[in-house]
Structure 1
Amino acid sequence: MYPDKLKELILAGESSTIEFKRKFTTPEKIAKEISAFANTLGGYLIFGVEDDRKITGVESEKSEIDLIEKACGFYLEPPIEPQIYIINMNGKDLVAIYIKESITKPHKVLLNPDNKKSRKIAYIRVGEQSVIASPEMTRVLSSQNDDSTPVRLIVGDKEKRLFSYFERHQRCTVMDFANLVNISRRRAERLLVRLVRARVLQIHQDSNSDYFTLIGK
C-alpha cells in the first residue's frame, strides 16, 4: 500500500469498510474487528489514527504485528491471514490491515480461551460498528460458502402467506413470520434462512434485531 492510498482512506473517514484505532489493546479485541470485516464486505483496520482522523502513530510496529498475528491465528476460527502494511505519514508510523471478504464464513472469535466458559462468536459490520452476528445471520453466513449446498425453492402455504405479507410491508422479522403463520420462532427462523439461501430474501441486521426483505424490492 502506498502513502497516497492510506491518506485517501483516512480522509474518507470511518465506514462499514474502514475502522480507525488509536492504539492496539488486546488480540481478542483486534480479532473482533477482523472477524467483522471478513464476515461482511472486507475492509481496512488502521492503527495510529484517532476517530477524528488525527494521526498519532504507533509506538512499536513489531509488538503491534505480533498482536495482530496472535489475534488472527489463535483467536479466530478459522484463522485469517490479512495483509499488513507499515506506512510512515507525517513522520509517524501507522499500521494498516487489509481484510478481504472471506469465502469461508463465518469466522468466529474465541472469547476467554483460557477459561472453561470460553465461547465462539461471529461478528459483522453494521455501519461503522462491529457487532455480534445474530443466530439467524450466523446461519446465513455459513450458507454463503462456496461449498454450501444449493437450495431448491419450494413454495408452500407458509411461503405464499409470507409473499402476501410483503405486498403490504417492506420488511419482516422472525417473530412477524412466526405469528403470521402460527409456528415456533425456531421453525420460522429456519424457513426464512432457507429463503435467503434460495436468493429470494435478504437478511439485514441493525442495532436492534434482524429483519428480512424481498431481493429487488
Structure 2
Amino acid sequence: MKDIKAVRGSDLVRAMVAEGEHEHQDFKFAISDARKIARSISAFANNGGGRLLIGVKDNGVIAGVRNEEDAYVVELAASRYCRPEQSVQFRAYKVDGTAIVIVADIAASTARPVLAGEPDGSWRAYYRVADENIAAHPLMLRAWRMAGVPTNIDSDTARVLAYIEACGKPVDTRDIALGLHISQASAESAVASLAATGLAAFIYRDGSFRIVPA
C-alpha cells in the first residue's frame, strides 16, 4: 500500500465522529484481526457502503492511529478474506495537529453477496444493521444472487406479496406458510423472488430478519 499523506481535517473528523457509529460508519481504535475487519467490509458492501474511522475509540474519543500497519490489515482483509475481493479507499486526516485518523471507505458492492472468511474456513455474508455486523439471512443471499435475472412474478408469488402487505407488520416465512397454507419451501421461493425484484425487503427485528413490503 502506498503511504497515505495526512491533511488537516479536525472539523471534518469531528463532524463524522459526532454522527456516532451507525449503518454506514464504524469506529476502530486499533486493527489487528483481518478476519474481523473482513466482516465489517462485507457488512458495509452488502448494505450500501460505509466507512471505518481508524484511530477513534468506541466512545468517540479521537485517540489517533497507533500502528502504521492498521491500513495494511484492512487491505489484507479486503483482498484475502473477502470474496469477491473488495477495493478500499483510504484518506488520512490530522486532528489538532497531532492525532492521525485514517478513514477507510468501502463502496457498495455491485455483485452481492460479499462474503467474509471465517476462522473455520467457511465463508459468510454479513449485513450492517445500525452499529452491528449481522450474519445475512440465507434468503437474502438467494435474493441477491437472483437480482438482475429476469424473474416472473406468478400468481402464487403475487398472493404472498398480498399477504405480506395485508399483515401490516413484519413477518417471516413461517408466518406466510401458515397463513396461506403453503409449504415452507414455497414461501421461501416467493420471498426470494419478491426481494430480488424489489417488491419486498428484509428488516432486522428482535434478533432475526423479517419481511416487509418494499
Q: What residue identity is the alignment partner of 1:134?
A: H
Alignment equivalent of 1:110, drawn from 111, 114, 117: 117
| Structure-1 residue corresponding to 2:152 | 152
Q: C-alpha offsets along residues 106-159 of structure 1, whole Å, 9 cap, x if unaligned? A: 1101112xxxx4100000111111111110122223234xxx312122123x64
**Structure 1: which 4+ aligned runs deviate by more than 6 Å?**
none
| Structure-2 residue corresponding to 1:190 | 189
SS of aligned partner of 1:149: coil
| Structure-1 residue corresponding to 2:12 | 5
Matched, 1:59 2:66: yes
What is the TM-score when the length of structure 2 is the normalising length?
A: 0.87
| Structure-2 residue corresponding to 1:176 | 175
Q: What residue identity is the alignment partner of 1:209?
A: S
Q: Measure the CA separation in 1 of the matches of 2:33 and 2:159.
A: 49
Cα drift, residue 60 of structure 1 = 2.3
| Structure-2 residue corresponding to 1:202 | 201
1:165 to 1:93, Cα distance in 2 relative to 1, 3 A: closer
Q: Measure the CA separation in 1 of the matches of 2:40 and 2:206.
A: 16
| Structure-2 residue corresponding to 1:68 | 74
Alignment equivalent of 2:44, drawn from 32, 37, 46: 37
| Structure-1 residue corresponding to 2:89 | 83
| Structure-1 residue corresponding to 2:101 | 94
Cα drift, residue 11 of structure 1 = 1.6
Q: Measure the CA separation in 1 of the matches of 2:62 and 2:36.
A: 21
Count of residues paired in the alignment: 206
5+ unaligned residues in a row in structure 2: which ranges?
1-6
Cα drift, residue 72 of structure 1 = 0.7
Cα drift, residue 164 of structure 1 = 4.3
Cα drift, residue 14 of structure 1 = 1.2
- More deviation in 74-83 or 175-184? 175-184
The CA RMSD over aligned residues, in Å, is 2.0
| Structure-2 residue corresponding to 1:128 | 131
Q: C-alpha offsets along residues 152-201 of structure 1, whole Å, 9 cap, x if unaligned? A: 22123x64365146324322211101112333323311111111223322
1:186 to 1:127, Cα distance in 2 relative to 1, 3 A: same
5+ unaligned residues in a row in structure 1: which ranges?
none
SS of aligned partner of 1:83: strand
Q: Measure the CA separation in 1 of the matches of 2:13 and 2:202.
A: 32
**Would you say the 8 A contact 1:72–1:79 is kept in 2?**
yes
1:165 to 1:105, Cα distance in 2 relative to 1, 3 A: closer
Cα drift, residue 207 of structure 1 = 4.9
Q: Measure the CA separation in 1 of the matches of 2:163 and 2:45.
A: 35
SS of aligned partner of 2:155: coil
What is the TM-score when the length of structure 1 is the normalising length?
A: 0.86
- More deviation in 38-47 or 191-200? 191-200
Cα drift, residue 65 of structure 1 = 1.9
1:194 to 1:161, Cα distance in 2 relative to 1, 3 A: closer
Q: Measure the CA separation in 1 of the matches of 2:89 and 2:59.
A: 24
SS of aligned partner of 2:91: strand
**Would you say the 8 A contact 1:22–1:56 is kept in 2?**
yes
1:164 to 1:131, Cα distance in 2 relative to 1, 3 A: closer
Q: Measure the CA separation in 2 of the matches of 1:165 and 1:111.
A: 34
Cα drift, residue 36 of structure 1 = 0.4
| Structure-1 residue corresponding to 2:55 | 48
Identity %: 24
